Amino acid sequence: MAGPSDKARFFLEQSAEELNALERKQIFSRDEISSIARKRSDFEHIVNARGSHPSDWLRYIEFEKNVDALRRKRIKRMHVRYRGSGQRTIYSLYGRGTRKFPGDLGLWMQYIEFARKDKAFKRLNEIFTQVVRLHPTKSDLWIYAANYFMDSQADITDARSYMQRGLRFCKNSEQLWIEYAKLETIYIGKIAGRRKILGLDVDRTRKEQNQDDEDENMIALPEVTAEDVNPSLKQDDGVDEVALQNLASAPILTGAIPIAIFDSAMKQFSSKAVLAERFFDMFAEFDQVPSVKRILQHVLDFLGHDAADAVQTAACTFRLSFFGLHPASPEFPTVLRDALDTLNAAIAQHPTYKPHLSNTALRQILLSVRSAEETDPVVRKVLSSQLRKFTGFLEEMGDNTGDSVATLAETLKREGKREDAKNLIQSSLKRFGTNERLQQLHAALVT
């Protein structure tokens, strides 16, 4: 069996020819070539030794990345035609390192990120296949792989395949169930967006009405036709309008797939109300998806049937009341009153959940405040009053110093809801003005 020195010599000999070529083309000087060879020799003896560690491979890989970056700069500056094997060397090191330490997820993730930045799609497919075979019970890997195929390659088939295979090995991972439903909801949004761009969701009567309203001073914009999208179609072929109409009622657009995932998750976790609320929170983020209200209603119906008295049911009922409703609409005051009655009753029934329900109320009220600039002053006054009220409720179960409000504001900021975080802090400064976290957050948000 070959020893560490023999292995090191074998790999060093493979790179000797490239170093000679770099010297001949004067990309690197003789001294630089000697330094690179000496450094590689040191690394090869370290990584091939019995006591090597994944960090040794990462240092070796970082060295090769620096050499490759310098080589590329020199080639560009000198206008030399030379491809080299820098990337192949780095991929080889990642491959050798992951074979020696297959259980080190940190090394695998750096390997994946390098291939992803390099846009090595074929190699990434191989890497994902290898890593999930070695770590089938790591739900984060299945989620990462599925999101990669969806985000980077717009491949719902492979993304869905990774989620479904992941659930075979990680059926008790709540996050994996939620991410799978999220993936399918994103896909609905993409399909709905394409239909909107192509004008497939526009009613024919509305089109005719718009044509009748046009006058000679208006600029006539070209319509997108099926031939524009697919040039292989000819005028004589026509378009299957029945198929296009049927697509609107297909399961993919009606939310049937996310609903089926939710139902399966509830069976797996014995109708866990806390998990159902997490699904609700995730679905509610997709307020622009046409079928999301139907999905949210399904979740709420499930909670009403299996956990009618649960605090999560009250929280979801409160939120769904406002879904798609603008504060300027005539129905808003009545909906706000009824929703607040529901939430206050839940707080009275579940006093230990007052912070949770207050958090829910504050998020919804802040969302309404953000959209209520041109609404009735009375409505704005009520929203401000409720904002102060639930801010107080949020602090009652804590130390009443404003730390709970600061924590919520920090969370909103991380989620990208800077305006909500700013409104929350401004409504709390009078009461908790001495809280340093609130002061720092306020300063960061107003600048």
CATH code at position 351: 1.25.40
Residue 201 within any structural domain of the chain: no
- For range 110-135, the mean pLDDT: 93
Q: How far apart are the first and last CA of the chain?
A: 65
- For range 102-115, the mean pLDDT: 94
- Least confidently predicted of 93-102, 131-140, 235-244, 251-260: 235-244
Of 46, 68, 101, the residue at which a domain comes to its end is: 101
Of 101, 116, 134, the residue at which a domain comes to its end is: 101
Residue 134 within any structural domain of the chain: no
For 430, the token pair is 């009078």
pLDDT of residue 106 exceeding 90, the answer is yes
Residue 117 within any structural domain of the chain: no
Residue 132 within any structural domain of the chain: no
- pLDDT at position 429 is 85
| Residue tagged 């020819």 (tokens) | 17
- pLDDT at position 284 is 93
Average confidence score pLDDT of the chain: 84
Burial of 330 (C-beta count, 10 Å sphere; 0-12/13-18/19+): exposed
Residue 168 within any structural domain of the chain: no
pTM of structure: 0.81
More confident residue, 123 or 399: 123
Residue 207 within any structural domain of the chain: no
Percent of the chain scoring above 70 in pLDDT: 85
What angle is formed at CA 157 by the lines to CA 154 and CA 162, rounded to 5 degrees?
100
Of 74, 101, 128, the residue at which a domain comes to its end is: 101
On whether the CB atoms of residues 274 and 307 are closer than 8 A, the answer is: no
Residue 29 within any structural domain of the chain: yes
pLDDT of residue 240 exceeding 80, the answer is no
Phi first, then psi, for residue 155 (nearest 5°) are -110, 95
pLDDT of residue 205 exceeding 80, the answer is no
pLDDT of residue 212 exceeding 50, the answer is no
What angle is formed at CA 25 by the lines to CA 20 and CA 26, rounded to 5 degrees?
95
Question: What total number of domains does the chain contain?
Answer: 2
Number of residues that this document lists for the chain: 447
Residue 33 within any structural domain of the chain: yes
- Distance set, CA 259 to CA 253, 264, 273, 276, 391 (Å): 12, 9, 16, 11, 34
| Domain extent for 28 | 1-101
Nearest to 318 by CA among 350, 278, 365, 353: 365
